[in-house]
Amino acid sequence: MALRSLATRKTLTQGLNSVKLTQSRALQTFSLPDLPYDYGALEPAISGEIMELHHQKHHQTYITNYNKALEQLHEAILKGDSSTVVKLQSAIKFNGGGHINHSIFWKNLAPIREGGGEPPKGSLGWAIDTSFGSFESLIQKISAEGAALQGSGWVWLGVDKELKKLVIETTANQDPLVTKGPNLVPLLGIDVWEHAYYLQYKNVRPDYLKNIWKVINWQYASEVYEKECP
Amino acid sequence: MARHLLVTDFILPLKSPKLSYLCEPQKGRSNGSQKVSRTVAYYGLKTPPYKLDALEPYMSKRALEVHWGVHHRDFVEDLNKQLGKSDILYGYTMDELVKATYNNGNPLAEFNNAAEVWNHDFFWESMQPGGGNMPKLGLLQQIEKDFGSFTNFREKFVEAALTLFGSGWVWLVLKRHEKQLAVVKTSNSINPLAWDDIPILNLDMWEHAYYLDYKNDRGKYVNEFMNHLVSWNAAMVRMARAEAFVNFGEPEIPIA
């Protein structure tokens, strides 16, 4: 019995050493994804000024800090510095989450002339009607949840890939949707942090939520849905 | 603290079991024809102790017009709308209302509005034109005692502001039990009154507080606040008042 456990420990550390080697060679850094449209293309729903700041300043800051935190985590893991590893978790969740969420958000938006605002057809449209009664009812529910969220966060339309069910969820700060359920896949996320609408709508978040539907890219949401629920 | 409920011809419903300790159930006398108005709590919007352009260029007139005139005003109006629904929360000062609605960690619906009204009242008074510099006298001594030096305190305060994730506030508080000053950061509208500490200063780190003037440059906003806006006069007054509630022991009287 003791012999067996000794043997497994040896192979485990051998295995870990080889993993360490590959890790130190391949630390990926992240960079700001390009927007598939001009900053001003979503006007008047979202102003060009907001889009530019949101993309170039806010999203970029999340990416910069995410990369920094990952590097610090990498070093801490190599050194076996557990307290630093654990301490970095909140910075990684916040900045990594910010990067994940905003990357999805840019794909969730599209200029009107490129289909922004067009309701989904196909299986997603059908699923929405089944789960929520109608497209309008879904919109209303998401807007209500988004308006009621206190502080900073996101409102999501997601699909539970196990149960094949559509869900509406909110997350605080930059928590990704997966923190609300490991099987949840985001189809559509709306940023309700003040920076997402303040310069244009001031504190009237409901107006922002009313107008953003005009530039929502349901095409992308449908694609993700069809991949999870073929 | 006496709470006066005008008993009229209505029956006070016991809204929620959480509040049952607060109100004494009173049965109204059914006197059909009589119509008396209810008494409910109602709060007003306090004006900042300076003109709206007095904090330029560190906080613009436009920013104050929106932050105070729209955000803060809306909090007051929304609070009054909530309070108008029943008189369970009648008879509190703002401080007491914040504590009561916090409900020991299980906040009532009114908490967010009540706390934000309180926080913003406190915030306007935590700033002054020609602010910044350093505190003097007893407050400076206490800061040096509890943080080592003023520079150390300033560093801690700025660090707390910049490491706050999401929306929230940064506070200089006097901790009642430890009898020490401390820097504290809270999320959304949480306020140190909730755990019975005494706030001395606060700084609004919600994006709406700095976005119009600084966009996403939080660092600049916090530094301008510390260098040019923070009112140590207000802090000293609050500290003096706090000393009535926290026993710092015998004062050192110099021997002649």
Residue predicted with more confidence, A226 or A9:
A226
Chain A to chain B, count of Cβ pairs less than 8 Å apart?
Answer: 51
- HSE at residue B31, side-chain half, CA atoms within 13 A, is 9
pLDDT tens profile A26-46:
688 999 999 999 999 999 999
**Residue A11: its H or E element:** helix A2-25
pLDDT tens profile A130-175:
999 999 999 999 999 999 999 999 999 999 999 999 999 999 999 9
**Residue A97: its H or E element:** helix A89-108
**pTM for this entry:** 0.84
The DSSP string of B143-193 is HHHHHSSHHHHHHHHHHHHHT--SSEEEEEEEETTTTEEEEEEEETT--GG
Write down the residue that tokens 């990704």 correspond to.
A176
Q: What is the pLDDT of residue B85?
A: 87
Q: What is the CATH number of the domain that holds B162?
A: 3.55.40.20
Q: Binding residue per annotation — A54? A: yes
> Taking residues A106-133, what's their average pLDDT?
94
> Does A68 contact B at CB distance below 8 Å?
no
Q: What is the pLDDT of residue B21?
A: 36
Tokens for A229, please give them: 């629920």
Q: How many folded domains does chain B comprise?
A: 1
> Is A192 a residue whose pLDDT tops 80?
yes
Complex prediction ipTM: 0.83
* Residue B12 falls inside a structural domain: no
Question: Which residues of chain B have a CB within 8 Å of the CB of A58?
Answer: 216
Residues of chain B below pLDDT 50: 1-32
Contact (CB<8Å) B207/A173 = no
Q: What is the pLDDT of residue B248?
A: 82
Give me the residue from A94, A153, A194 closest to B207, CB to CB: A194
Whether the Cβ atoms of residue B38 and residue B8 lie closer than 8 Å to each other: yes
* Residue B160 falls inside a structural domain: yes
Q: What is the pLDDT of residue B2?
A: 37
- Determine the structural domain holding residue B167 and report its residue range: 61-248
Q: What is the pLDDT of residue B237?
A: 95
Beta-strand ranges (E) seen in chain A are: 153-160, 165-172, 184-191
Average pLDDT, chain A: 90
Q: How far is it, in rounded angstroms, from Cα B109 to Cα B100?
A: 11
> Is A80 a residue whose pLDDT tops 60?
yes
Q: What is the pLDDT of residue B34?
A: 57
- Note which residues in 102-121 of chain B have CB less than 8 A from chain A: 112
Taking residue B168's Cβ as centre, other Cβ atoms within 10 Å add up to 22
Q: What is the pLDDT of residue B30?
A: 46
Q: CATH classification of A45-229 is 3.55.40.20, yes or no?
A: yes
* Residue B86 falls inside a structural domain: yes
